[in-house]
Structures are given as C-alpha cells and as structure tokens.
Amino acid sequence: MEPFEQAERSITKKYRRQIWLPFLSAVKQYELIQQGDRIAVCISGGKDSMLLAKCMQHLQKYSDFPFEVEYLVMDPGYNAQNRRQIIQNAEALHLPIHIFDTRIFEITEATGRNPCYLCAKMRRGCLYKHARELGCNKIALGHHFDDVIETTLMSMLYGAEIRTMMPKLHSLHYPGMELIRPLYLVREADIIAWKNYNNLTFLQCACRFTESCAAGQSDSKRQEMKRLIAQLRKGNPNIDKNIFHSMENVNLETVIGYRRGSERHNFLENYNK
C-alpha cells in the first residue's frame, strides 16, 4: 500500500472514532459545507492542516453532494528546507497544492512589536485574497478541539472576557467569504497519533521569530494553557470537555453583564421585573 493510501485509509479505519467521525460531526453539526461550495484548504505544513487536507480530500470523493476543494499553501518566507518539506509531504500524500509567495515574515520582523499577532492577521488576509482569486467562497483552517479550549481560557485569563474560537465565521473584509474549521471536534492527541502511526514528519514551527519552538522551547501563552489544562485534567479527566461545553451552555440569568456587538447589557436591567 502506498504511503498516501495508508495515511488516508487510517483516517477512516484505525482512527475512525477519533478523527473521521468527529470531523464529520463538525461538518454536519455546524453546517460547514454546502452544495456548490469551493473551499480553499489552507495548508501551513503542520500536522493539523495536512490532516485537514486529507479529510477534505476523502470527504469530497464520497460526499452526498458536490463541492470543490483547492489546496492552498502560502509561503510567508519559509527557509528552503521548510518549503521543500511541505512540497515533499504534499507529493507523498497526493495533495495537489497551489503555492504563492509573500514577504510576511520579513514585514512582521521589521515591526518589532507583537509580530505573532500581525503575522496571523496578514496571513489571514492573504489567504482570503488568494482563495477568492481561485474562485473559492470559503477557507478551511486546521484548528482543532484543543485550540478551542485553549483560546477560551486565554480569553478569560488574559483578555478579561468570555469568548471562544468559533467553528465558522463570515469575513468582515471579504464579503461573501467564510472561514470554517472542520477539525473543531478533533483532539490534538489523536492528530499526533495519526501522524506517528503513518511515520509522517511535518513542520512544527516554521516562523523565523520563534524557530526555537521546534525544539520544544516555546513558552507562549498557548503553551501555558496546555500545561494548565494537563494539570487540571489530573484531577478531572473531563475538564477539557467541560470547558468546551460551557461555551454552548451559557446561563444568561447568572452573568453580571454581556454584550452583543457594541450593545452592552447588565443584569440590573431586568432585576426587578
């Protein structure tokens, strides 16, 4: 069996319960894909986006309704080795990728101020732009279940607000474009297990600014959340599920205040009614 055949087969066989069914559940539950969609699967070269690409490729073959997929790779300024690895992995997994170049790493490094935030913002804009040029109406990103709960905790602990990473979003700056996250219910540990089972090697951290993270030296806020969740899980194995479900089980009668857009509300508005 060819490597790409084993990698694809393992998604729906060995990791059916851990990967394929949660992937399908997210697509159906959050209505991520509709008939006639043309979706740009955005590949960074990491394990998450590569798995997403294989899931989307397999789904397209057996979907009950037709939709189209483009596999989009943006090179923000990778070194030659990282770019070559992305291309080799795409060839090994039979993913027909489109690569386009940008100077994002160079630009963000020159600013010297919060380069990660600026990089993410610029990357997202470039992906929307090129996806639209390919005739796509959606971009698909490889964020997974762990990203969702880590984002939720970071928002509470460092952003002083309760918010989460949504399964889909309308683009504010590209009308008619939408962002979807089909791996929303897939756990990172299962993605790693799939990668290791198939002896695949993907990029870990290709950013010049944080190249040390490939050696496990990153100390970002997200890594801090990973450690916190792992510690909490020792006392409660369901802690990550509880964090996730708390965001779809908000009791507005027991919150001091909330906002919808620019409109703010306080519990005193209805306290004596």
What's the pLDDT tens digit per position in 164-214?
999 999 999 999 999 999 999 999 999 999 999 999 999 876 555 554 444
- pLDDT of residue 218 exceeding 50: no
Give percent of the chain above pLDDT 70. 90
pLDDT of 273: 81
pLDDT of 212: 44
3-214: CATH topology = Rossmann fold (3.40.50)
Over its C-alpha atoms, the chain yields an Rg (Å, rounded) of 20
Q: How far is 48 from 55, CA to CA, in rounded Å?
A: 11
What's the pLDDT tens digit per position in 19-43?
999 999 999 999 999 999 999 999 9
Higher pLDDT, 119 or 78: 78
Find the mean pLDDT for residues 253-272. Answer: 93
- pLDDT of residue 215 exceeding 50: no
Q: How far is 45 from 40, CA to CA, in rounded Å?
A: 15
- pLDDT of residue 102 exceeding 90: no
pLDDT of 43: 95
Average pLDDT, the chain: 90
Ordered by start, the domain boundaries in the chain are 3-214
- The pTM score is 0.91
pLDDT of 188: 97
pLDDT of 113: 62
Quick one: pLDDT band at residue 85, thresholds 50, 70, 90?
Answer: very high
List, edge to edge, every strand of the sheet that includes 38-43.
97-101, 68-75, 38-43, 138-140, 178-180, 168-170
CA angle 99, 103, 107 (to 5 degrees): 150
Q: How far is 23 from 61, CA to CA, in rounded Å?
A: 15
- 7 neighbors 198 (Cβ within 8 angstroms): yes
Q: How far is 184 from 148, CA to CA, in rounded Å?
A: 7
**Amino acid found at 9:** R
- 156 neighbors 225 (Cβ within 8 angstroms): no
